[in-house]
Structure formats: C-alpha cells, structure tokens
Amino acid sequence: MPENGHAPTIGSSSIAAILGLSPWSGPWDVWAKMQGLAKPFQTRATLRGHILEPAIADYYGSQTGCALAPGPAYEEAPIIGPESWMHARPDRFAKKEDDEWLVEIKSTRKFGREWGQPGTSDVPQYYAVQCIWQMAVTGHSRTDLAAFATISDEYRVFTIHRDMQLEKQIVDFARDWYSKYVITCEPPDTDGSIACSRTLAKRFHQKSDAYVEPTPEDRSLAIDIKSIREKINKMEIEKREKENVLKDRIGEHKGMAGVCTWASGKPRVTVNSKALKEEHPDIFVKYSKTGDASRQFRFTYQPEE
C-alpha cells in the first residue's frame, strides 16, 4: 500500500509499462510507485512535453475548429473508469457540434519509423495503448493524437478509434496484473530492470551480518554470472581496442565525420574534502549532504577446484 494510504489505481501512463511496451519503464517501475517504494521523477522529455502541450493543443483547436477543455491535472483527482482500479487523465476533451472525442498531446524529437502518416492510427505502440486505456476509462469512441516533432518542425494528427476486442484484452491483462501484484502487494517476477534493482534495495535493508547458504540453483546462477562477466570483460577489451584505432586515425582533429567525436573536455575540478574539513569545519558541515544508505552487490564467487 502506498504511503498516502489510498488504494492505487492503474492509469493510462502506466499501462504501456505493465504490458512491456514502454521503452522508458516496466512493470517494476509501476509496482514500486504503487507501493510507495519509488517517487515519480521528471525527465527532460516530460518537461519538454509539459511546456509544449498548451501550444500544441491550441494549434490543434485552431486547425480543427473544435472547443477544447483540459483533462484533470496531475494534482487533481483522475477520472475513474468502469472498474475502481482504472483511471485516466486525458490531455483534452474536444467537442464540435454533437461530436465529442479525446485529444492526446505528444512532442517528440522526430517522427521515426514507428510513426505513420497523418490521419492514420499508426503511432508507437506505447502511445496507442495509452489512448486505448483512456477510451476504456471515459467511454469515448475516438482519440486524436496531436504530435509535434521539434527537430523537423513537423506537426501530425493521428486518429485512434475504439476497438472493443483489443480493449478487452488489455483490460483483462491489467486486471489480472492488478489482482496478482497490487492487491497482494507481491512484486512482479524478478527481472533485469533498473527499477527491480532499486526496489529490491528499498524492500530489503540489511539487518544481519550472517550469510545465506547457497542452494544448487544459487550456485548455478553464480556460474552463469561468472561466465557473463567474463564475456563482458572480453567484449569491453575488444571495444576499447577498436575505439583506440579510431582515436589514432582522428589524431589532433575533433572527430570523424558521421562516425564519432573525440573532443577535449574542460579540466575536472575537485575539492579536497579532507583538507576542507580540517581547515574550515563549519563550511564543510554547512555544505555537506548525507545521501540515502545503499547496498552494494559485490560478486565474490570462486568455483571449487
């Protein structure tokens, strides 16, 4: 149960991660936030989206001639769907004469191969399922996705219509996931995500200096890890060798056109914290920060002779 004590719900921004379609997050990210083990954070991309959203929405409204009303803000209560664990915060509600639909606003650096032509429903899967989820929550039958590419200065509008069969499959999957992991507070299966690593460290604080005895399965995992580490080390050496060949070719130039750069950086400035603490203890204390305690994983396995 999260820190605020309220029952968590699945929103449109989480459904792609739960389905394994998001390039930025996964099931562990969603579960950790729902359990209060991780805090939401803002990336440069999300900040860019918040800044550009009003302008893109205004342009969409002027081009379509529809009236737009904003959806619930992040700090406001979301719209709850037909089931109490479902919620959504559509960017805009559109209306023109007797027609009403949802509008989702997106900004991207460029329209890559996952984006189709304007007027189609060909948008990245992680955005498509977000629109599908919003329609499942609100009951609307259509969502326009208005997107602006900042590098190419290009604007496109895509239309996603409600697909009840696909919607049911997604909702059924999310319902099972919610029942299995959120209601029971049991975490998803352990995976290789960064969120999984961070959440495990949050869940399990060291309370003993004792060692757990390894099972045969644990030893098998250790053998696999040792093999993987050896392969990674070999590949790192090979990579570094090829990088050095390119550096030798570049010489005193800045880089190699269309391949790489090898530019000079600014000298690194460091502070002698030991001397600062001895000579100016008051300043050292004033500007010192204590971070959260963390657990370090050190691989010490040695195969038996």
CA 77 to CA 54: how far, in whole Å? Answer: 20
How many Cα atoms occupy the beta-carbon half-sphere of 200 within 13 Å?
13
Q: What is the DSSP string of 243-305?
A: HHHHHHHHTTSSEETTTEE-PPPPPPP---HHHHHHH-HHHHHHT------------------
Q: What is the pLDDT along the chain (305 residues), one digit of tens a residue?
A: 444 446 799 999 999 999 999 998 999 999 999 998 887 777 787 888 889 999 999 999 999 999 999 999 988 999 999 999 999 999 999 999 999 999 999 999 999 999 999 999 999 999 999 999 999 999 999 999 999 999 999 999 999 999 999 999 999 999 999 999 999 999 999 999 888 998 898 888 899 999 999 999 999 999 999 999 999 999 999 999 999 999 999 999 999 999 999 999 888 889 999 998 999 989 988 988 887 777 889 999 988 76
Dihedral over Cα of 47, 52, 58, 59: its sign: negative
- The helix-helix angle for 27-34 and 194-203 (nearest 10°) equals 30
CATH topology assigned to domain 12-202:
Lambda Exonuclease; Chain A (3.90.320)
Residue type, 241: E
CA 36 to CA 259: how far, in whole Å? Answer: 44
Instruction: Tell me the domain boundaries of the chain.
Output: 12-202, 221-256
Residue type, 26: G
Q: List the structure tokens of 157.
A: 């509008």
CA 114 to CA 33: how far, in whole Å? Answer: 28
Radius of gyration of the chain from its Cα atoms, rounded to whole angstroms = 25
Residues of 13-45 as b/e, b for ≥16 C-beta within 10 angstroms? Answer: bbbbbbbebbeebbbbbbbbbbbebbeeeeeee
135-159 pLDDT tens trace: 999 999 999 999 999 999 999 999 9
Q: Are 79 and 1 in contact (CB under 8 A)?
A: no
CA 105 to CA 88: how far, in whole Å? Answer: 14
